[in-house]
Amino acid sequence: MSETATTVNPQITDSVTQVNTKVVGETPAMAMGNLLVSTSHALSTGAHNATSAQQQGQVTMQAATVQGINSLMSVCSAAIGRTGEEIIEKG
């Protein structure tokens, strides 16, 4: 078999070199962009979770307050009923 040397057109070589240089040059910017997007996504998820936890805490606090007031009102209504009865009897 005879070996024939094939030469590549210099314009093709330059084009491939420029594309490779462009890709290598853009890599740090792409990496930084991906880092910033993932960081902002994580922070927004954390803020959403904090807001949700605060809302759930407020609901729990409100339920506890209502239960406490109901307990106070049931005790107070019995006392008010007795006091009103005494006032009517003395009346």
Residues 35-83 have pLDDT tens digits of 999 999 999 999 999 999 999 999 999 999 999 888 877 776 666 777 7
- The terminus-to-terminus CA distance of the chain in angstroms comes to 132
13 has pLDDT over 90 = no
Residue whose token pair is 């809302």: 55
Give the DSSP per-residue string, 31-63.
HHHHHHHHHHHHHHHHHHHHHHHHHHHHHHHHH
